[in-house]
Amino acid sequence: MPQIHPLTLFCPAASQLGQSKAKSVEGPKIFLDLLERAENHHQIQAGIKTLIKNKHYQSLSQGHFWYRIKTKQGSFEGVLTGVLAASKTQNITTHEAVLEQRVKMFSDYLTVVGFQAEPVLLMHENNLAAAALGKHISNRKEDLLFHLGTERHQLWTLSPEEVSRLSNFCEQQDQFHLADGHHRYASTINTAKESLNPPLLFSFLVAMDQVKNAAFTWAIKDTQLVEQLLKNLPPESVCDKAVANIEIRTKDSHIYCQAKRSLTVSNYIVEKLFGITAQNKIDLKSLIAYYPPGELSPEKAKAYSAIINYKPLSLDKIITLAKAQKILPPKSTFILPKLPTGLCLTPLTKGQIK
């Protein structure tokens, strides 16, 4: 069963919540400006400690926290908690492959900085238990209320009785499922192995009914890859829009097709249409740009050799694949909620600030 552990949580003072956008990451201006100005990870670590020392970030009492975020995509709520991730026991299942170079990049960051600045999204299947706990907590006034742009963030510190209920709930769960944050998860495990510290995972633990899945738009940069795709496209897979689960747009054609005999649509695209297998170990990001739903404008799309849209997997299918340890290509799922970086900070290990 997954084990939970209280967090030392740091949140920005309300006066510091101006929104910024730096390095394609959304979050509080004071934190993202720090990331943008810093020349190396040691400067980021020193900067975070300065923010805390000068009370730009304030500490909540160590514990577990009910968290609700309201965005234009919807309202989501669950528990901010530390999860001790034991990699050998499969108490957290995953569904997407990770890129080794990105894991190393995040591991290097965590090793030096020592703070996690964004929780991973962990999903469980007990909607009723989560709703009962949330209703009990939300009957009282929140301890912290933040407005970040158009988003509304609320935090409640769990009482000892609520922590006991949460612990009992976790003891009854065989597994949690990693919905989003695969590189952060892998990096935390990797960093913990190297430092011999317990891998405490900064987590937003939510019920399945609090999660939404869409699909990225895959924008193909490489002309040869498009030629390979069209060459490998079985004529019998081309179909009407109504029954298609893949849409392919090139400069000269608009094709609807149905994935045949494959684990998932994204596997079908990569393995069948692109002809890329796991043994090839090709970094798809060198060939493909990924856009969240609705973020690729028609003007931007003209710069690419082809655009691929596909129907997203259901959450039930994602969990089934995760339990069976069936891994999807990177960027196969676009799962909400997406949480702002730097709204809450927590030390990497169970100990105090390094």
The CATH number assigned to the domain holding 156 equals 3.90.1530.10
The CA distance from 46 to 123, in Å, is: 33
pLDDT value at 348 more than 80: yes
Determine which helix (DSSP H) or strand (DSSP E) holds 225, and give its type and residue range. helix 223-232
282 has a pLDDT exceeding 50: yes
pLDDT tens for each residue of 170-220: 888 888 999 999 999 999 988 888 777 777 899 999 999 999 999 999 999
Q: Is 112 exposed, middle or buried (0-12, 13-18, 19+ CB in 10 A)?
A: middle
CA distance 57 to 288: 38
Residues ≥6 apart with Cβ < 8 Å to 273: 228, 229, 232, 233
Please check the confidence at residue 107 and state whether its pLDDT lies above 90: yes
Q: Indicate if 173 and 240 belong to the same structural domain.
A: no
Q: Are residues 197 and 271 in the same domain?
A: no
Q: How many domains does the chain have?
A: 2
Residue 22 has pLDDT above 50, yes or no: yes
pLDDT in tens, 127-154: 998 888 888 887 889 999 988 888 999 9
Residue 272 lies in a domain: yes
Can you give the residue range of the structural domain that contains 73? 3-213+336-347
Q: Read off the pLDDT of residues 154-178 as tens digits, 9 standing for 90 and up.
A: 999 999 999 999 999 988 888 899 9
What is the phi/psi pair of residue 290, to 5°?
Answer: -110, 130
Residues 209 and 231 in one domain: no
Is 319 domain-assigned? no
Question: Hey, how many other C-beta atoms are within 10 angstroms of the C-beta on 161?
Answer: 9
Which residues have a Cβ under 8 Å from the Cβ of 353 and sit 6 or more positions away?
Answer: 8, 49, 52, 114, 347
In a domain, 208, yes or no: yes
Q: Where are the beta strands (DSSP E) in 96-149?
A: 115-116, 120-124, 144-148
Nearest residue to 55 via CA among 11, 18, 19, 20: 11
Q: What is the pLDDT of residues 84-97, one digit of tens each?
A: 876 555 689 999 98
- Domain shared by 221 and 201, yes or no: no
Same domain, 66 and 159: yes
Please tell me whether residue 10 adopts helix, strand or coil conformation: strand
> 88 and 32, same structural domain?
yes
CA nearest to 251, candidates 305, 288, 290, 298:
305
101 in the same domain as 171? yes
pLDDT above 70 covers a percentage of the chain that reads: 94
88 and 60, same domain (yes or no): yes
Q: Are 36 and 106 members of one domain?
A: yes
Question: Is there a single domain that holds both residue 257 and residue 282?
Answer: yes
Based on the fold, state whether residues 204 and 227 are members of the same structural domain: no
Does any domain span residue 40?
yes
Considering only residues 305 and 191, tell me which one the structure prediction assigns the higher pLDDT. 305
Specify the pLDDT at position 278. 66
Residue 268 belongs to some domain of the structure: yes
Give the per-residue pLDDT at 353.
Answer: 34
Q: What is the mean pLDDT of the chain?
A: 89
- Give domain status of residue 325, yes or no: no
Is it the case that residue 234 has pLDDT exceeding 50? yes
Q: Does 108 reside within a domain?
A: yes
Give the three-class secondary structure for 75. strand
62 and 161 housed in the same domain: yes
**pLDDT (mean) for 92-106:** 90
Q: pTM for the whole thing? A: 0.91
* 316 domain-assigned: no
**Which has more confidence, 18 or 230?**
230
